[in-house]
Structure 1
Amino acid sequence: MTEHGVSYVPKPVLKDEDWWAVWLGLFIFALGLGPIYGVEPLGWVAKVGTWVDLGKAIAPISKNYHISGPLSALLTYLFMLVLTTIGAYFMGARTGRFIAGFTIIYWITIVCLIIGENAYIAATPDKLAKFKIGWSLGLGEMGFVFAMIVGLIIGNFFTGFAQFLYEAAKPEWFIKTGIVIMGMAIGIKTVSALGLATTVIVRGLCAVVEAYLIYWPVVYFVARRFFKFTPEWAAPLASGISICGVSAAIATGAAIRSRPVIPVILAAVIIVFVAIELLFLPFVAAAFLYHDPLVAGAWMGLAVKSDGGAIASGTVTESLILAKAIKTLGIKWQEGWILMATTTTKMFIDIFIGVWAFILAIIWSMYKIGKNGTGGQLDSKVSAAEIWHRFPKFVIGFTLTFFVLLILGLNDKSIVKAATEGSNHANALRTLFFALCFFSIGLVTNVRKLWQEGMGRIVGVYAVCLFGFILWVGLFISWLFYHGVFPPVISG
């Protein structure tokens, strides 16, 4: 097989990073099903939570495990070390060097997550009273950014130490494994959404399809035409801005066979913009859309490009609008509906990731598009093997975890609570895999070379597209589908 004129020899399955992401993700998914059957195989997994008391920063994900936070972190380390070492061994890594490197990377990453979850950094406005603090930056997911910054410092200023860690720095493998696990949470959320208002679900789906048929091609055009990015950069950038930040950028990068560094660097920029949106967008929505609450909720889902950021924005928006509606309109709306509009919209966006990755894999194969923009002539005889080679295998794992939870939940609604609990347990590991990815990408990134590749232009594309049309098109589409739909009114 050839790719862009270069001979390509498929990797053996046991040496393929994509397949190892699938297997590790499915194994964690299987353990996450435990609560459905009355057990908690992952209840001991460490979760870093927002904190003001450092002693409470980390704890086991399940309250049924009465162990200390440090012990939980140690058990999580040993579990992830064993899983990743098995995969690394079969993929040809030097096992001893991998174990040493992973150990250092893991504990540095844990520290970064803990710092990022300090309440003065991470708490959203609706949580200030809970933590008894008067202010917060409200910057969720900053632990990822801190991990990347530390990785960048080590990779660019302590090169000897960085070389020692390279064996265990597997950014693409880590995040692909996390995406497979993420399918579980989305699947059970879908079951929950199906039990809610059909109108909101149908409108949410229509809004997502319409928005992203507009968003993606426009962002891609702007990146290519005005900022002169190659397809290798422009496609993941368009997906990251248009669909769902980190996950979409990674899935698209895998589908078109871009260099692993590209989508995760894009994701770092996206997270910074998510933090900026979270600081002001809910307050804009509350000021101008308090009389059309579900429009505001859907707008958060369409505009904020990360799951955590979007849900946090929806939560803050709902809190602000409900309070303002009582004061200004004399109406007391039922809680949960504004956030539901955000969550439902975001859920369909996440599902769209796998669909779009598959479409792009076929297009890039048929047109033989290269990293530098070469290609463009339609090859109607493109082989199934070429498409299979380009197809990101971890999407198979993502799809499996999604549909298994969806089918189980639809067949027996009584398991939804337990399945949600299990998906939360598995999701704690997904967060760690994502964080490991960000540290690793910082470690292997040469900043000087990266700037030459166009980091400044990445920020430019994002700013132009986000503030130029994404926010406003998203607002219009939210209004188009949700205008005049209101939450139930609480009497008295």
Structure 2
Amino acid sequence: MPNTPPDPTPTQLSPFLSQDDWLAIWLGAIVLAASLAAVALWGNDVQAYVAKPGAWRELPVTALVPSEQFVGSPLMGSLVVGTVLCVLFAVAQRARGERSTDFVPSFVVVYLLALVSFTLAGHEVVKAYNLEYALWALMVGLIISNTIGTPKFLRPAVLTEFYIKTGLVLLGSEVLMSRLVALGLPGIGVAWVVTPIVLITTYWFGQRVLRMPSRTLNMVIAADMSVCGVSAAIATAAACRAKKEELSLAISLSLTFTVVMMAVMPMVIKAIGLDPYVGGAWLGGTIDSTGAVAAAGATLGDEALEVAATVKMIQNILIGVTAFCVAVYWTTRVDVSRKGERVGAGEIWRRFPKFVLGFLAASIVFSVLHAMVPGGAELTEAMIKNATKTFRSWLFCLAFVCIGLETNFRQLLPQLKGGKPLALYLCGQFLNLCLTLLMAWLMFGVFFPPAGD
């Protein structure tokens, strides 16, 4: 018999082309560049081809094809986004050494689940209560995983962190330094002074007072609640290598209380008669979700909305700083105490979530474009509004569906034993609310009152 040649050795790709963090940066850069070029060529017409389901009242189909015309409808725009993401992530999966033929059919199903989630969130009653797509996406995934179980064929497309990381790179383009300059010291005071105090205090409280057995769960909840919700939780979980179940629990707590705070805080602000600037800063510094901050701020008026959204954007800059600091602390203090060995700078770099570099790079590039290039402000804002924000929303929705698909309540129950995670979140958020209100009053009410007050 002739000798059978051995199987060819698979090509070893550079980490820059095969690891999630770097691939997320490349995918985000491709979407940003393509969106910028499309908006530069076609202007606002791009939104007809990049969309998500709209609002509806009686029939869900009107959220997809409201005018009975496919061209330019939300359904067409959703299919375009889905096709682009499917192609990009199929190529990325191939680069990671996975089979793209397994990924594509499973992605189609996960994307349809995200489409259902967006449609449910579009009902006028649901929108009135500000129950955003993230909650519905999580519920859709949870129902499947806790009843029939997540089918095996869906596993290739359940890429929670990959979707979130890519979405966070896109989010970087929305964090413009000009907004930081617009509010200056008062905005920085609210966003950058309170946040690290609450983060460190909450972690200390969990370890020393509650004596939580899992340090990683303690840290992820502290970052989720003090920085900016899901985005910070993902970055911090990557930095300290938290378990998926711990990340799911932290995000579930965040989403639940975000809905409550979004509804209750504006009523409290109106009841006690806070100035719109103070009230907006309080919202922006405490509510976890950027979308929920905007929704809550809008109920108080344009001034409160602008301040709330800007403070939240300034706070979002801390995602990268927090991830880096957690990576350094975990590798030099926590892992050293467990293993009894010293950890060098190389391990810190290996542990650091590299996609944060993409977030920061996008923020810098588009801040420069927005502030220094003639016509750059209009182009950047049109790109965000008509293209990249929609892509980011789809990526986050896909991630929330996947979180639900990966989460089983039976696995979460041990984490909830004794109620310590809930107690940690409640105590940390109470401290966050008090300190942020105090700082918002000092910054916008005492030291830097708005002109004309």
TM-score by length of 1: 0.81
The equivalent residue for 2:335 is 369
The CA distance in 2 between the partners of 1:107 and 1:273, in whole Å, is 27
The one of 435, 442, 447 aligned to 1:480 = 442
The equivalent residue for 1:25 is 28
The equivalent residue for 2:411 is 449
Task: Check conservation: 2:245, 2:412, Cα contact below 8 A.
Answer: no
Q: Supply the AA of the counterpart residue of 1:93.
A: E
Shift of 1:80: 1.1
The one of 249, 265, 288 aligned to 1:265 = 249
Task: Check conservation: 2:320, 2:356, Cα contact below 8 A.
Answer: yes
Task: Check conservation: 2:249, 2:412, Cα contact below 8 A.
Answer: no
Q: Supply the AA of the counterpart residue of 1:440.
A: C
The one of 210, 213, 221 aligned to 2:193 = 210
Q: What runs of 5+ residues in structure 2 fail to find an aligned partner? A: 1-12
**1:121 partnered with 2:83:** no
Task: Check conservation: 1:240, 1:267, Cα contact below 8 A.
Answer: yes
The equivalent residue for 2:18 is 15
The one of 296, 301, 316 aligned to 2:299 = 316
The one of 366, 378, 402 aligned to 1:440 = 402
Shift of 1:76: 1.7
Shift of 1:180: 0.6
Task: Check conservation: 1:283, 1:317, Cα contact below 8 A.
Answer: no
Task: Check conservation: 1:249, 1:267, Cα contact below 8 A.
Answer: yes
- How many residue pairs match? The answer is 432
The one of 215, 220, 228 aligned to 1:236 = 220
Shift of 1:416: 1.1
Match runs of 1:462-481 below 5 Å: 462-467=425-430, 469-481=431-443
Task: Check conservation: 1:261, 1:441, Cα contact below 8 A.
Answer: no
Task: Check conservation: 1:249, 1:264, Cα contact below 8 A.
Answer: no
**1:139 partnered with 2:103:** no
Shift of 1:111: 0.7
The equivalent residue for 2:51 is 46
The one of 268, 271, 275 aligned to 1:287 = 271
Shift of 1:243: 0.5
Task: Check conservation: 1:300, 1:310, Cα contact below 8 A.
Answer: yes
Deviations 1:1-48 (A, max 9, x none): xxxxxxxxx984433111111111111111222266333595311223
Shift of 1:489: 6.3
**1:411 partnered with 2:372:** yes
Shift of 1:99: 1.1
SS across alignment from 2:52: strand
The one of 320, 340, 357 aligned to 1:354 = 320
Task: Check conservation: 1:22, 1:397, Cα contact below 8 A.
Answer: yes
The CA distance in 2 between the partners of 1:193 and 1:465, in whole Å, is 26
Task: Check conservation: 1:337, 1:487, Cα contact below 8 A.
Answer: no
Question: After alignment, is 85-94 or 168-177 more displaced?
Answer: 85-94
The equivalent residue for 2:350 is 389
Shift of 1:285: 0.4
The equivalent residue for 1:127 is none
The CA distance in 1 between the partners of 2:152 and 2:257, in whole Å, is 31
The CA distance in 2 between the partners of 1:281 and 1:378, in whole Å, is 47
Q: Supply the AA of the counterpart residue of 1:223.
A: G
The CA distance in 1 between the partners of 2:95 and 2:251, in whole Å, is 29
Q: Supply the AA of the counterpart residue of 2:395.
A: F
**1:254 partnered with 2:257:** no
Match runs of 1:163-182 below 5 Å: 163-182=152-171
Task: Check conservation: 1:18, 1:176, Cα contact below 8 A.
Answer: yes
Q: Supply the AA of the counterpart residue of 1:374.
A: R
Task: Check conservation: 1:293, 1:486, Cα contact below 8 A.
Answer: no
The one of 254, 258, 263 aligned to 1:274 = 258
Shift of 1:259: 2.6
Q: Supply the AA of the counterpart residue of 1:406.
A: S
Shift of 1:51: 3.5
Task: Check conservation: 2:191, 2:311, Cα contact below 8 A.
Answer: yes
**1:81 partnered with 2:90:** no
The equivalent residue for 1:150 is 140
The one of 170, 173, 178 aligned to 1:191 = 178
Shift of 1:383: 2.5
Q: Supply the AA of the counterpart residue of 1:57.
A: A
The equivalent residue for 1:398 is 359
Distance 1:346 1:157, change over 3 A: same
The CA distance in 2 between the partners of 1:311 and 1:432, in whole Å, is 18
Shift of 1:52: 2.8
Task: Check conservation: 2:239, 2:352, Cα contact below 8 A.
Answer: yes
Distance 1:241 1:57, change over 3 A: same
The CA distance in 1 between the partners of 2:355 and 2:63, in whole Å, is 32
SS across alignment from 2:212: coil
SS across alignment from 2:242: coil
Task: Check conservation: 1:223, 1:229, Cα contact below 8 A.
Answer: no
Q: Supply the AA of the counterpart residue of 2:40.
A: Y
Q: Supply the AA of the counterpart residue of 1:340.
A: E
Distance 1:308 1:212, change over 3 A: same
Distance 1:11 1:364, change over 3 A: farther
The CA distance in 1 between the partners of 2:317 and 2:99, in whole Å, is 37
Distance 1:235 1:312, change over 3 A: same
Match runs of 1:420-431 below 5 Å: 420-424=381-385, 425-431=387-393
TM-score by length of 2: 0.88
Q: Supply the AA of the counterpart residue of 2:254.
A: I
SS across alignment from 1:139: coil
The CA distance in 2 between the partners of 1:170 and 1:45, in whole Å, is 22
The CA distance in 2 between the partners of 1:145 and 1:227, in whole Å, is 30
The CA distance in 2 between the partners of 1:369 and 1:42, in whole Å, is 49
Task: Check conservation: 1:59, 1:69, Cα contact below 8 A.
Answer: yes
Shift of 1:257: 2.1
The one of 449, 459, 483 aligned to 2:422 = 459
The CA distance in 1 between the partners of 2:272 and 2:425, in whole Å, is 24
Task: Check conservation: 2:224, 2:250, Cα contact below 8 A.
Answer: yes
The CA distance in 1 between the partners of 2:360 and 2:226, in whole Å, is 20
Question: After alignment, is 245-254 or 359-368 more displaced?
Answer: 359-368
Task: Check conservation: 2:36, 2:380, Cα contact below 8 A.
Answer: yes
Q: What runs of 5+ residues in structure 1 fail to find an aligned partner? A: 1-9, 124-137, 319-335
Q: Supply the AA of the counterpart residue of 1:409.
A: H
Q: Supply the AA of the counterpart residue of 1:178.
A: G
The CA distance in 2 between the partners of 1:140 and 1:258, in whole Å, is 28
Percent of paired sites with the same residue = 29
SS across alignment from 1:374: helix
Task: Check conservation: 1:366, 1:378, Cα contact below 8 A.
Answer: no
